[in-house]
Amino acid sequence: MLSNLLSNLSSNRITSKFVRTFLATAALSLITASAQTGAPAATTGAGSAPAAAAPPTTIATGTGTKIGTINIEQAVVGTNEGQRDFEALKKKLDPKQNELKAANDELEQLQKQLQTQGDKLNEDARASLVKQIETKKKAFDRQVQDAQEDAQNQQKEIFQRILQKMAPVIVKHAQEAGFAMIVDTSNPWPQSPILWYGENGDITKAVVDLYNTQSGVPAPTAGATPKPATPRATTPKPAAPASTTPK
């Protein structure tokens, strides 16, 4: 059913491996650049999406002795700016969600008609109905794929934009707190090499608080805490053709 897709378009959770990989690479590049230059990473021209920097050859480390952790995904989403922008994206995607729901309802109705009336239709009428279902399902699948790609691209733009401004905040806090290295815990083991870590060394909340102070973006109203998501393509299964001989 389409319910999973529509729910994901609304609830905003990151589930795409491609998006996670993109963000991990972007975060590593931006933080390393900030650590090496001591300045924020360069931004692109107004109105254009920032380009992902090339993966660095080495990971920047500090002069301290501690190893800290940060959940980059939670840090970006946890900022006032992130919550504001992902909530705005959710509202922007609502019309597409309604459009997909209407298309899915129509397709399900035709499939139900084939299941209940297929053995009562003559050969031409049944073949016409089957063809109509196949055509609409193909168009629906294309719409779902386009919606996924559009949502992913807009989510990546938000993440990349916030990451560019967050990178120097992370580096500055880590240096001042005496950390020698900060590792990202966005992905659980075994997707990442981090097997275990304690909360005492996690700087996610501290970075979010510092970023919020620097950005000046006010906290969202109560209950507005969206989490970014990449929708999964879940389309209705086509009805099995009636097994009886057409009349």
- Residue 142 falls within a domain, yes or no? yes
Domain count within the chain: 1
Half-sphere exposure in the Cβ direction for 149 (13 Å, CA): 6
Do residues 220 and 87 lie in contact, with contact meaning Cβ atoms separated by under 8 Å?
Answer: yes
User: Which pairs from 97-104 meet CB under 8 Å and 24+ separation?
Assistant: 97/6, 97/9, 97/10, 99/143, 100/2, 100/5, 100/6, 100/9, 100/140, 100/143, 100/144, 100/147, 101/2, 101/6, 103/136, 103/139, 103/140, 103/143, 104/1, 104/2, 104/140, 104/235, 104/236
Do residues 76 and 162 lie in contact, with contact meaning Cβ atoms separated by under 8 Å?
Answer: yes
Query: Looking at residue 172, what is its pLDDT?
Result: 93
- Residue 73 falls within a domain, yes or no? yes
Residues in a beta bridge with 181:
67
- Residue 132 falls within a domain, yes or no? yes
- Residue 48 falls within a domain, yes or no? no
User: What is the b/e burial string over 74-91, where b = at least 16 CB atoms within 10 angstroms of the residue's CB?
Assistant: bbbbbbbbbbbbbbebbe
- Residue 86 falls within a domain, yes or no? yes
- Residue 47 falls within a domain, yes or no? no
Q: Report d(CA 31, CA 105) in Å as an integer.
A: 46
**pLDDT (tens digit, 0 to 9) for every residue of the chain, 247 residues total?**
444 444 444 444 444 554 555 555 555 566 656 555 554 444 444 444 444 444 444 455 566 679 999 999 999 999 999 999 999 999 999 999 999 999 999 999 999 999 898 888 888 999 999 999 999 999 999 999 999 999 999 999 999 999 999 999 999 999 999 999 999 998 888 888 888 888 889 999 999 999 999 999 999 886 554 555 444 444 444 444 444 444 4
Query: Looking at residue 136, what is its pLDDT?
Result: 94
Sign of the alpha-carbon torsion through 212, 217, 223, 225: negative
- Residue 181 falls within a domain, yes or no? yes
How far is the CA of 136 from the CAs of 5, 78, 104, 106, 202, in angstroms? 18, 40, 9, 9, 50
Nearest to 182 by CA among 210, 168, 191: 168
Domain range enclosing 164: 3-39+60-215
- Residue 11 falls within a domain, yes or no? yes
Distance, C-alpha 108 to centroid of its chain? 28
Do residues 13 and 153 lie in contact, with contact meaning Cβ atoms separated by under 8 Å?
Answer: no
∠ Cα 198 201 202 (to 5°): 90
Give φ, ψ of 180 to 5 degrees. -90, -25
